[in-house]
Amino acid sequence: MPKQMVRVDRSSRGSADASRDMALDIVSYGRRGPGGKLRLGSDEVAQVQRTVGRTPEVMVKVSGGARDVGGVEAHLRYIGRHGKLPLEIDEGLVQQGRGAAREVVTDWQLELCRSQCKPKPAQGQKDTRAKLVHNIVLSMPAGTPPEKVLAAARVFARENFALQHRYAMVLHTDQPHPHVHLVVKCEHEFEPGKRLYIRKDTLRLWREQFAALMREQGVAANATPRQVRGQVRKPYRDPIHHRLRALRAFAQLPVGERDGRRTPKPSLVMRTKLEKVLRDFRAGRVAFDADQAKLRDTRQVVLEDWHATAEILRRQGEARLAAQVDRFTVGMPAVQTDDQRLTERWRDVGKRRTPGRTYSRRPDLEG
């Protein structure tokens, strides 16, 4: 039977809203049952159960990419910890040692890629050359067995890139969350001119695929958009995240152990954001009404979809799961912009201040 989207009627909304709504569908497909009413299949019901049960979410992101051979080699050395970790390549071989990155770059013949025919831009000019590789990260929450993350990543890479794009991967366990760095050559091996392009829909499908592969490994894993889970706050970009983590780790050191250590540099992006918020706050300006309106509109779309899903579940006799969906929507955190969050934290710091004492430390930007 033909598939039918499970949707709430929003014909009055514009095309931009409609395209956004498509990405926020909680249940992708349903089937017409007796009487022509929509029904959810076992896969859709399982997806709802994982989401409202807050099953750990997988992460698949593009962390960057290099536009010249030197950049590719440098990144391969970095993820291989300068020869200490093994580099697994698409041919099933393992390269290790200080010369492993150079061997991979030479084998991939990156210097023959069309983008390398363009001259390198002068200092200060934008580099318009096409990327040679995409740097992808596949990650799971803390406590996940690293060997299962690597096993799922191997299958993921083979199914998406084998015999099309050269790739290499490395498992990292130096942080609480095990993750795999995957470097993929952009140019197709056998079709000149064909390249690998990664779009938002590509990342969404990759997340769903990686979550399914983790479940095949016996690990509970899910892949849903953060808005559907009620998560408003966007994750920080890697440079900001790393600097905030370094600052937090330094702040947690005993005072005696800080002596002789260089204080990590703060994120200039977050410092600029905070300074703007403080200027608006002190001047009595509210500059985030428009952003909050967008967030509220998105939240309303999500709630409508969840309510429609709950009604379908009740009609199918899944009353317990429908009640769980209702509790899940009620428990969603309030919609709040980053500026509002920083302003409230600054107010809290002001309330805790001791009269007559001066403070130079800014509130924790990551709280």
3-state secondary structure of 67: coil
What is the 8-class DSSP label of residue 220? -
Give me the long-range contacts of 84-89 (CB less than 8 A, separation at least 24).
Answer: 85/170, 85/171, 85/172, 86/170, 87/168, 87/169, 87/170, 88/154, 88/168, 88/169, 88/170, 89/166, 89/167, 89/168
Q: pTM (2 decimals)?
A: 0.75
The pLDDT-based confidence of 148 (bands split at 50, 70, 90) is very high
More confident residue, 345 or 63: 63
For the chain, give the percent of residues with pLDDT over 90. Answer: 54
What average pLDDT score do residues 211-220 get?
98
pLDDT of residue 3 exceeding 50, the answer is no
Domains identified in the chain and CATH numbers: 59-116+128-216 (3.30.930.30)
Rounded Cα distance, 131 and 303, in Å: 40
What average pLDDT score do residues 14-31 get?
45
The pLDDT-based confidence of 287 (bands split at 50, 70, 90) is low
Per the DSSP assignment, residues forming a β-bridge with 94 are 88
Residue 166's identity, in one-letter code, is R
The pLDDT-based confidence of 236 (bands split at 50, 70, 90) is low
What average pLDDT score do residues 240-247 get?
59
What average pLDDT score do residues 317-327 get?
96
The pLDDT-based confidence of 231 (bands split at 50, 70, 90) is confident
Residue 359 confidence (pLDDT):
46
pLDDT of residue 68 exceeding 80, the answer is yes
Range in 49-63, 147-161, 245-259 the model is least confident about = 245-259
The pLDDT-based confidence of 114 (bands split at 50, 70, 90) is confident
Residue 355 confidence (pLDDT):
57
pLDDT of residue 279 exceeding 80, the answer is no
pLDDT, the chain, mean? 81
More confident residue, 324 or 333: 324
- Model confidence over 73-113: pLDDT tens digits? 999 999 999 999 999 999 989 999 999 999 999 999 999 99
What is the 3-class SS of 262-320, one letter each residue? CCCCCCHHHHHHHHHHHHHHHHCCCCCHHHHHHHHHHHHHHHHHHHHHHHHHHHCCCHH
pLDDT of residue 293 exceeding 60, the answer is yes
What average pLDDT score do residues 162-168 get?
97
3-state secondary structure of 4: strand
Residue 352 confidence (pLDDT):
61
pLDDT of residue 122 exceeding 50, the answer is yes
